[in-house]
Amino acid sequence: MNLLMSCSALIDGLNQRVGRSVRWLILAMVVVCAATAMMRYLFNVGSNAWLEVQWYLFAAVFLLGAGDTLRRNEHIRIDILSQRLTRRGQAWVDIIGTVLFLVPMATIIIVLSWPMVTASYLQGEVSSDAGGLLRWPVKLLIPAGFALLLLQGLSELIKKAAILTGHSPDPAASDPGPASPTAGGAL
């Protein structure tokens, strides 16, 4: 179990570094968007390439940040169901959901998107818009993002199994949950 926990820690570290890096792309997106708008409205100069850069940056943030979102447990879940379960029950729901849904879905998307990436690269595919950009770099984000998500799913499986088998303490068990309002204050 120690080897698996070490692998999990490596995956967590990878997704954390990627997540921290892609956050800077949000700033780049804002700068590109503002510059594009200023050029269009102040100087009547537009560029499809700069619009596509914004889309590419958004795709990179969304796809490459998904693994880190899962690592931080900030993905969408059905709280009505999970809040009624014990911590052990929640761990089982996470394991079953990861095995039955996340792993197969991410694997299928990686397998099906890779030929699209290679074909785009080999053909030198360019956007059909005037002044558009190469398409393969943004298409490459699909298998890369889902590979990071798949790895993080495997890391979460390892951590949940370690909690269930008693090899690791449950970090959520020490979480006090939402703060309750104080006696003197109203929400």
SS3 78: coil
In the 8-state DSSP scheme, what is residue 84?
T
Residue 119: strand pairing partners: none
| Residue pLDDT, tens place only, 76-118 | 776 677 778 888 888 898 899 999 999 999 999 999 999 999 9
| Separation between Cα atoms, residue 87 and residue 30, nearest integer Å | 40
| Residue pLDDT, tens place only, 34-65 | 999 998 888 888 888 888 999 999 999 999 99
For position 86, what pLDDT does the model report? Answer: 86
Is it the case that residue 1 has pLDDT exceeding 50?
Answer: yes
Residues constituting the chain: 187
The structural domains of the chain, with segments of one domain joined by +, span 2-170
Name 27's Cβ contacts closer than 8 Å, sequence gap at least 6. none
DSSP characters over 44-86: ----HHHHHHHHHHHHHHHHHTHHHHHHTT-S---HHHHTTS-
| Residue pLDDT, tens place only, 133-144 | 999 999 999 999
